[in-house]
Structure 1
Amino acid sequence: MSTDSSRGAVQRDATSQEIYDAGMVVRREVLGDAHVDRANAKKDEFTEDFQDMITRIAWGGIWTRPGLTRQMRSAVTITAMVAHGHWEELAMHIRAAITNGLSRVEIKEILLQTAIYCGVPSANTAFKTAQGVFAELDETSESPEPASPTPPN
Protein backbone atom coordinates (compact mmCIF):
# COMPACT_ATOMS: atom_id res chain seq x y z
CA MET A 1 0.00 0.00 0.00
CA SER A 2 1.39 3.44 -0.94
CA THR A 3 1.46 6.03 1.79
CA ASP A 4 0.17 9.50 1.02
CA SER A 5 -0.22 10.61 4.62
CA SER A 6 -2.67 13.36 3.62
CA ARG A 7 -5.26 10.71 2.75
CA GLY A 8 -5.34 8.64 5.94
CA ALA A 9 -6.22 4.99 5.39
CA VAL A 10 -7.76 5.60 1.96
CA GLN A 11 -4.69 5.08 -0.19
CA ARG A 12 -4.77 4.51 -3.95
CA ASP A 13 -3.99 0.81 -3.61
CA ALA A 14 -5.55 0.18 -0.17
CA THR A 15 -7.85 -2.78 0.01
CA SER A 16 -11.30 -2.50 1.47
CA GLN A 17 -10.08 -4.74 4.31
CA GLU A 18 -7.13 -2.42 5.07
CA ILE A 19 -9.47 0.58 5.23
CA TYR A 20 -11.90 -1.40 7.41
CA ASP A 21 -9.09 -2.49 9.76
CA ALA A 22 -7.74 1.07 10.09
CA GLY A 23 -11.29 2.29 10.73
CA MET A 24 -11.86 -0.33 13.39
CA VAL A 25 -8.68 0.72 15.20
CA VAL A 26 -9.83 4.36 15.32
CA ARG A 27 -13.42 3.41 16.14
CA ARG A 28 -12.22 1.39 19.13
CA GLU A 29 -9.83 4.13 20.27
CA VAL A 30 -12.52 6.81 20.09
CA LEU A 31 -15.66 4.95 21.20
CA GLY A 32 -14.06 2.26 23.36
CA ASP A 33 -13.95 -1.50 23.01
CA ALA A 34 -17.13 -2.02 25.05
CA HIS A 35 -19.22 0.20 22.75
CA VAL A 36 -17.84 -1.35 19.55
CA ASP A 37 -18.23 -4.87 20.94
CA ARG A 38 -21.89 -4.13 21.81
CA ALA A 39 -22.53 -2.75 18.32
CA ASN A 40 -20.89 -5.77 16.71
CA ALA A 41 -22.79 -8.18 18.96
CA LYS A 42 -26.07 -6.63 17.81
CA LYS A 43 -25.21 -7.02 14.11
CA ASP A 44 -27.48 -9.24 12.11
CA GLU A 45 -28.06 -9.87 8.42
CA PHE A 46 -30.07 -6.63 8.21
CA THR A 47 -27.51 -4.31 9.90
CA GLU A 48 -24.22 -5.98 8.97
CA ASP A 49 -23.70 -3.94 5.78
CA PHE A 50 -24.40 -0.69 7.64
CA GLN A 51 -21.89 -1.51 10.39
CA ASP A 52 -19.31 -2.40 7.73
CA MET A 53 -20.01 0.85 5.86
CA ILE A 54 -19.61 3.14 8.88
CA THR A 55 -16.41 1.38 9.92
CA ARG A 56 -14.90 1.68 6.43
CA ILE A 57 -16.22 5.07 5.33
CA ALA A 58 -16.68 7.14 8.51
CA TRP A 59 -13.94 5.67 10.69
CA GLY A 60 -11.51 4.37 8.04
CA GLY A 61 -12.12 7.00 5.38
CA ILE A 62 -12.60 10.15 7.46
CA TRP A 63 -11.40 9.70 11.05
CA THR A 64 -8.00 8.33 9.90
CA ARG A 65 -7.23 11.47 7.90
CA PRO A 66 -4.53 13.69 9.43
CA GLY A 67 -6.04 17.07 8.47
CA LEU A 68 -7.89 17.60 11.76
CA THR A 69 -7.13 16.56 15.31
CA ARG A 70 -9.47 14.11 16.97
CA GLN A 71 -10.53 16.94 19.29
CA MET A 72 -11.54 19.05 16.28
CA ARG A 73 -13.34 16.09 14.67
CA SER A 74 -15.23 15.60 17.94
CA ALA A 75 -16.21 19.29 18.04
CA VAL A 76 -17.49 19.16 14.47
CA THR A 77 -19.35 15.91 15.13
CA ILE A 78 -21.00 17.24 18.30
CA THR A 79 -22.17 20.29 16.35
CA ALA A 80 -23.60 18.11 13.58
CA MET A 81 -25.45 15.93 16.10
CA VAL A 82 -27.00 19.01 17.72
CA ALA A 83 -27.90 20.56 14.36
CA HIS A 84 -29.76 17.43 13.31
CA GLY A 85 -31.22 16.49 16.69
CA HIS A 86 -29.48 13.12 16.95
CA TRP A 87 -29.51 12.96 20.76
CA GLU A 88 -28.47 9.33 21.25
CA GLU A 89 -25.55 9.82 18.87
CA LEU A 90 -24.75 13.12 20.63
CA ALA A 91 -24.40 11.29 23.95
CA MET A 92 -22.06 8.76 22.33
CA HIS A 93 -19.95 11.51 20.76
CA ILE A 94 -19.77 13.51 23.99
CA ARG A 95 -18.23 10.42 25.59
CA ALA A 96 -15.93 10.12 22.57
CA ALA A 97 -14.95 13.80 22.84
CA ILE A 98 -13.81 13.25 26.42
CA THR A 99 -11.84 10.20 25.28
CA ASN A 100 -10.32 12.40 22.57
CA GLY A 101 -9.15 14.90 25.18
CA LEU A 102 -11.83 17.59 25.18
CA SER A 103 -12.67 18.95 28.61
CA ARG A 104 -16.17 19.53 29.92
CA VAL A 105 -15.45 23.25 29.67
CA GLU A 106 -14.65 22.86 25.96
CA ILE A 107 -17.78 20.78 25.41
CA LYS A 108 -19.82 23.47 27.17
CA GLU A 109 -18.32 26.08 24.84
CA ILE A 110 -19.16 23.97 21.80
CA LEU A 111 -22.75 23.66 23.03
CA LEU A 112 -22.96 27.41 23.67
CA GLN A 113 -21.79 27.95 20.07
CA THR A 114 -24.49 25.57 18.83
CA ALA A 115 -27.12 27.67 20.62
CA ILE A 116 -26.34 30.50 18.21
CA TYR A 117 -25.94 28.49 15.00
CA CYS A 118 -28.27 25.53 15.60
CA GLY A 119 -30.90 27.14 17.83
CA VAL A 120 -31.54 27.52 21.53
CA PRO A 121 -34.06 24.64 21.79
CA SER A 122 -31.55 22.23 20.26
CA ALA A 123 -28.78 23.50 22.53
CA ASN A 124 -31.10 23.13 25.52
CA THR A 125 -31.58 19.45 24.71
CA ALA A 126 -27.85 19.10 24.05
CA PHE A 127 -26.99 20.53 27.48
CA LYS A 128 -29.44 18.09 29.12
CA THR A 129 -27.87 15.24 27.13
CA ALA A 130 -24.37 16.30 28.18
CA GLN A 131 -25.45 16.58 31.84
CA GLY A 132 -26.72 13.01 31.66
CA VAL A 133 -23.48 11.76 30.12
CA PHE A 134 -21.39 13.59 32.73
CA ALA A 135 -23.54 12.18 35.55
CA GLU A 136 -23.06 8.64 34.19
CA LEU A 137 -19.32 9.16 33.89
CA ASP A 138 -19.13 10.56 37.42
CA GLU A 139 -21.11 7.62 38.77
CA THR A 140 -18.89 5.04 37.15
CA SER A 141 -15.68 7.08 37.34
CA GLU A 142 -15.11 5.95 33.74
CA SER A 143 -13.33 9.04 32.59
CA PRO A 144 -10.95 11.36 34.36
CA GLU A 145 -11.49 14.99 33.44
CA PRO A 146 -8.74 16.23 31.13
CA ALA A 147 -6.99 19.36 32.26
CA SER A 148 -8.78 22.48 31.10
CA PRO A 149 -6.84 24.41 28.51
CA THR A 150 -5.68 27.89 29.30
CA PRO A 151 -8.20 30.31 27.79
CA PRO A 152 -6.79 32.60 25.11
CA ASN A 153 -5.98 36.18 26.15
Structure 2
Amino acid sequence: MSDELYDAGMRVRREVLGDAHVDRATANATEFTQKFQDYITRAAWGSIWTRDGLDRKTRSCVTLAVLTALHCHGEIAMHVRAAVGNGLTADEIGEVLLHTGVYAGVPAANEAFAIAQKTLAEMGEPTAQPRTTG
Protein backbone atom coordinates (compact mmCIF):
# COMPACT_ATOMS: atom_id res chain seq x y z
CA MET A 1 0.00 0.00 0.00
CA SER A 2 1.61 3.26 -1.10
CA ASP A 3 0.44 6.85 -1.16
CA GLU A 4 2.03 10.29 -0.71
CA LEU A 5 1.49 10.41 3.07
CA TYR A 6 2.86 6.91 3.54
CA ASP A 7 5.83 7.56 1.24
CA ALA A 8 6.69 10.85 2.99
CA GLY A 9 6.33 9.15 6.37
CA MET A 10 8.54 6.25 5.38
CA ARG A 11 11.20 8.63 4.04
CA VAL A 12 11.30 10.65 7.30
CA ARG A 13 11.04 7.54 9.46
CA ARG A 14 14.10 6.11 7.71
CA GLU A 15 16.00 9.42 7.94
CA VAL A 16 15.31 9.76 11.68
CA LEU A 17 15.44 6.15 12.89
CA GLY A 18 17.71 4.61 10.27
CA ASP A 19 17.12 1.98 7.64
CA ALA A 20 18.11 -0.93 9.90
CA HIS A 21 15.47 -0.08 12.51
CA VAL A 22 12.73 0.54 9.96
CA ASP A 23 13.62 -2.58 7.99
CA ARG A 24 13.45 -4.62 11.20
CA ALA A 25 10.10 -3.12 12.19
CA THR A 26 8.54 -3.70 8.79
CA ALA A 27 10.04 -7.19 8.42
CA ASN A 28 8.64 -8.17 11.82
CA ALA A 29 5.16 -6.89 10.99
CA THR A 30 2.49 -9.56 11.00
CA GLU A 31 -1.04 -9.59 9.73
CA PHE A 32 -1.97 -8.49 13.26
CA THR A 33 0.52 -5.57 13.47
CA GLN A 34 0.64 -4.39 9.84
CA LYS A 35 -2.19 -1.89 10.29
CA PHE A 36 -0.33 -0.33 13.22
CA GLN A 37 2.90 -0.05 11.19
CA ASP A 38 0.94 1.68 8.42
CA TYR A 39 -0.73 3.97 10.96
CA ILE A 40 2.49 5.16 12.64
CA THR A 41 4.16 5.65 9.26
CA ARG A 42 1.31 7.87 8.10
CA ALA A 43 0.26 9.57 11.35
CA ALA A 44 3.50 10.07 13.28
CA TRP A 45 6.05 10.22 10.49
CA GLY A 46 3.98 11.36 7.50
CA SER A 47 1.62 13.82 9.19
CA ILE A 48 3.65 15.19 12.12
CA TRP A 49 7.40 14.75 11.58
CA THR A 50 7.09 16.20 8.06
CA ARG A 51 5.54 19.49 9.25
CA ASP A 52 7.47 22.75 8.96
CA GLY A 53 6.50 24.15 12.39
CA LEU A 54 9.39 22.56 14.35
CA ASP A 55 12.77 21.35 13.21
CA ARG A 56 13.78 17.76 13.83
CA LYS A 57 16.07 18.67 16.72
CA THR A 58 13.16 20.29 18.55
CA ARG A 59 10.85 17.39 17.69
CA SER A 60 13.43 15.04 19.23
CA CYS A 61 13.46 17.15 22.42
CA VAL A 62 9.67 16.99 22.66
CA THR A 63 9.63 13.27 21.89
CA LEU A 64 12.21 12.45 24.58
CA ALA A 65 10.32 14.55 27.13
CA VAL A 66 6.98 12.89 26.39
CA LEU A 67 8.43 9.38 26.31
CA THR A 68 10.06 10.05 29.67
CA ALA A 69 6.88 11.49 31.17
CA LEU A 70 4.82 8.54 29.96
CA HIS A 71 7.39 5.95 31.13
CA CYS A 72 7.80 4.60 27.59
CA HIS A 73 11.09 2.94 28.42
CA GLY A 74 11.10 0.73 25.35
CA GLU A 75 11.13 3.77 23.05
CA ILE A 76 13.70 5.98 24.79
CA ALA A 77 16.91 4.36 23.49
CA MET A 78 15.66 4.48 19.91
CA HIS A 79 14.80 8.16 20.25
CA VAL A 80 18.10 8.98 21.98
CA ARG A 81 19.83 7.62 18.87
CA ALA A 82 17.43 9.60 16.68
CA ALA A 83 18.05 12.75 18.74
CA VAL A 84 21.80 12.44 18.21
CA GLY A 85 21.15 12.00 14.50
CA ASN A 86 18.95 15.09 14.60
CA GLY A 87 21.77 17.17 16.08
CA LEU A 88 21.32 16.96 19.85
CA THR A 89 24.45 16.56 21.95
CA ALA A 90 24.61 14.30 24.97
CA ASP A 91 24.54 17.42 27.15
CA GLU A 92 21.37 18.65 25.45
CA ILE A 93 19.72 15.26 25.88
CA GLY A 94 20.64 15.43 29.56
CA GLU A 95 19.09 18.89 29.83
CA VAL A 96 15.86 17.63 28.23
CA LEU A 97 15.69 14.76 30.73
CA LEU A 98 16.59 17.00 33.66
CA HIS A 99 13.92 19.52 32.66
CA THR A 100 11.39 16.72 32.21
CA GLY A 101 12.16 15.44 35.71
CA VAL A 102 10.84 18.66 37.22
CA TYR A 103 7.49 18.34 35.48
CA ALA A 104 7.09 14.57 35.07
CA GLY A 105 8.84 13.38 38.21
CA VAL A 106 12.27 12.31 39.32
CA PRO A 107 11.62 8.54 38.97
CA ALA A 108 10.62 8.99 35.31
CA ALA A 109 13.71 11.08 34.58
CA ASN A 110 15.95 8.70 36.56
CA GLU A 111 14.91 5.76 34.40
CA ALA A 112 15.27 7.84 31.22
CA PHE A 113 18.76 8.96 32.28
CA ALA A 114 19.79 5.33 32.81
CA ILE A 115 18.52 4.32 29.38
CA ALA A 116 20.03 7.37 27.69
CA GLN A 117 23.42 6.87 29.37
CA LYS A 118 23.56 3.22 28.31
CA THR A 119 22.55 4.15 24.76
CA LEU A 120 24.99 7.05 24.49
CA ALA A 121 27.79 4.87 25.92
CA GLU A 122 27.04 2.24 23.27
CA MET A 123 27.26 5.01 20.67
CA GLY A 124 30.74 5.94 21.98
CA GLU A 125 29.76 9.21 23.69
CA PRO A 126 32.69 10.03 26.02
CA THR A 127 30.59 11.74 28.71
CA ALA A 128 28.41 8.64 29.06
CA GLN A 129 31.27 6.23 29.66
CA PRO A 130 31.72 4.77 33.16
CA ARG A 131 34.28 6.59 35.24
CA THR A 132 37.47 4.72 35.91
CA THR A 133 39.02 4.83 39.33
CA GLY A 134 42.74 4.83 39.65
Q: TM-score, normalised by structure 1?
A: 0.79
Any idea what the Cα deviations from partners look like across 1:85-113, whole Å, max 9, x if unmatched? 00110111111000101110100100110
Is 2:38 aligned against 1:48? no
Alignment partners' CA distance in 2, 1:137 and 1:94: 10
Instruction: Name the residue aligned to 1:7.
Output: none
1:122 aligns with 2:105: no
Q: 1:115, CA displacement in angstroms?
A: 1.1
Letter in 2 for 1:104: A
**Unaligned regions of 5+ residues in structure 2, if any?**
127-134
Whichever residue aligns with residue 59 of structure 1, its letter is W
Indicate the SS of the match to 2:80.
helix
Select the structure that is richer in helix: 2
Structure 1's unaligned 5+ residue stretches are 1-15, 139-143, 146-153
User: Runs in 1 of length 4+ with deviation above 4 angstroms?
Assistant: none
Q: Distance in 2 between matches of 1:125 and 1:117?
A: 15
Q: What RMSD over aligned residues (CA atoms) do the two structures have, in Å?
A: 1.3
Distance in 1, matches of 2:63 and 2:109, equals 14
Residue 72 of structure 1: aligned partner: 58
Q: TM-score, normalised by structure 2?
A: 0.90
State how far apart, in whole Å, the 1-side matches of 2:53 and 2:45 are.
14
